[in-house]
Amino acid sequence: MTPPSRLHLRHRTAVLATLPVALATLVGAAGATVPGKAGASGAGDPYFPLSGNGGYHVRHYDLTLRYDTSDRHLDGRAALSARATENLSRFDLDLKGLKVTRVTVDGAPAAFRRDGQELVVTPRHTLRAGRDFRVTVTYAGTPKPVTDPDGSADGWIPTDDGAFVAGEPQGAMTWFPANSHPKDTSSYDISVTVPQGRTAVSNGVLLGRRTEHGRTTFHWRETQPMAAYLATVTIGKFDVEQYTTHDGVHVYNAVDPREASAAAPVLKKLPSVLSWESKLFGPYPFRSAGSIVDHASVGYALETQTRPLYDSAPDIGTLVHENAHQWFGDSVALTAWKDIWLNEGFATYAEWLYTEQHGGDSAQKTFDALYARPAGDHLWAFPPGDPGSGGNIFDTPVYARGAMTLHELRKAAGDRDFFRILRAWTAGHRGGHGTTAQFEALAERISGKRLDGLFHTWLFTKGKPNSA
């Protein structure tokens, strides 16, 4: 056995002394405390490098919020039940704006500092990998939306009677401290206190509402894993309607009265849309459903989990789209924003299918009309499987060419296998995550065909593809 050379030893010592990470390890090893290092400030997503964090998983969020609709002040307390996935000497949460007054870890006050959208928390002791811990953050202030790379507003968006709260892709951090990347999904308890007469609508089931001293508290619970961007607490003056469908799904609709007459005929179709989607995509993945129809000029709708959020009365296509996301995007979550076509391409194809099966154009006809667009059209600006930046993730190529990809798959696999693939996808990844590579592999397995050429052409090739 050859002893290590002196040079090699010296070199190693020098490296240890200069790296803070290694230094922490040395100190930890020498002292009573376990060696630990800082959790990463991001989840490793190149489109949004600071979204999410490394070193832990949040199992459950318990949010207690109070919002004053007249001065737009938010008081918040977030209690996170988390599990360390590394030995952590410190870790980050995502939180933008707002003032943090206190942070505890397992009941003991923890040191914290702000660094842009990162709330950096240093517990008294290193958190060992595999250990469960509880963080509380007390905060307050006037939440403001963030502007996304595509110019849209995202997060807590004040309205004339409350707030429109949508978090895709990065707005969750505007109203609660989070591990804000779809890689990390969690259950939620959300309790919101608002002035009496306003309604606060969130995800999952309404466990209770209580009015005291001119304020009403709404307590919501979502037990199924949910990405932070899918959480909402939209506040306003809403008409509320509740019922249970034949399939036992509890529906809660909240509608701004200014949108009520336009929304009514579309919302009436929700149970039939959900049961139609269940036949195609597999059982509805949640116990509750519904709609939040606000009156705000935000410019988009969002598939907030169990209960999509609309900035005005939706048309039937939008209702079909946002509810299709409950299977594609919500119950089966992304691991990277690059794979966004798994959400938007699928929800868009659901619209085409709905039209086809409800007396409108066939999906083939919709495909043909798009395919007729010239090579210089924006539809072909970038490939949907590799949009290239966070500014492109909600652009036409992701939605329309993503749906065209599914149509090509349907033609290659045949209808029977195509719908088998969709149902195997939602069943196999329910409550979890999925990647483009996994979808391709599943499609090949079920169809028994080689599909690498098809996926490569439609998802990853620049410019207008040659149709099969």
Strand 162-166, strand 99-105: pairing? unpaired
Report d(CA 163, CA 230) in Å as an integer: 15
Nearest to 316 by CA among 359, 256, 373: 359
With CB under 6 A as the contact rule, the residue among 148, 222, 259, 351 that binds ligand ARG is 148
- Residue 347 interacting with Zn ion (CB under 5 A): yes
Report d(CA 452, CA 264) in Å as an integer: 44
Binding mask 285-324 for Zn ion (x = CB under 5 A): ----------------------------------------
Binding mask 301-320 for ligand ARG (x = CB under 6 A): xxx-----------------
Pick what 406 binds: ligand ARG, Zn ion, none; C-beta below 5 to 8 Å, kind-dependent. Answer: none
Cis before 177? omega within 30: no
Please give the distance of CA 220 from its chain centroid, rounded to a whole number.
18
Contact of 248 with 283, CB cutoff 8 Å: no
Binding mask 162-191 for ligand ARG (x = CB under 6 A): ------x-----------------------
| Residues in 375-404 that interact with ligand ARG by CB under 6 A | 394
Q: Minimum distance from CB of 25 to Zn ion (Å)?
A: 45
- Residue 332 interacting with Zn ion (CB under 5 A): no
Q: Minimum distance from CB of 317 to ligand ARG (Å)?
A: 11
176/341 with CB nearer Zn ion: 341
> How many CB atoms neighbour CB 104 within 10 A?
17
296/400 with CB nearer Zn ion: 400
Burial pattern 123-162, b for ≥16 Cβ within 10 A else e, equals beebbeeebebebbbbbeeebbbbebeeebbbbbbbbebb
Cis before 169? omega within 30: yes
Pick what 394 binds: ligand ARG, Zn ion, none; C-beta below 5 to 8 Å, kind-dependent. Answer: ligand ARG
Residue with tokens 């039939």: 272
- Residue 346 interacting with ligand ARG (CB under 6 A): no
Report d(CA 51, CA 41) in Å as an integer: 8
- Residue 154 interacting with ligand ARG (CB under 6 A): yes
86/303 with CB nearer ligand ARG: 303
Nearest to 69 by CA among 174, 157, 195: 195
What are the backbone angles phi and psi of residue 260, rounded to the nearest 5°?
Answer: -60, -45
Contact of 80 with 177, CB cutoff 8 Å: yes
What are the structure tokens assigned to 436, written together?
A: 């483009």
Q: Minimum distance from CB of 152 to ligand ARG (Å)?
A: 4
- Residue 417 interacting with ligand ARG (CB under 6 A): no
Q: Minimum distance from CB of 225 to ligand ARG (Å)?
A: 18
Nearest to 186 by CA among 230, 232, 226, 136: 226
| Residues in 426-445 that interact with ligand ARG by CB under 6 A | none
With CB under 6 A as the contact rule, the residue among 68, 150, 356, 386 that binds ligand ARG is 150
Site residues, ligand ARG (CB under 6 A): 148, 150, 152, 154, 168, 300-303, 321-322, 344, 394
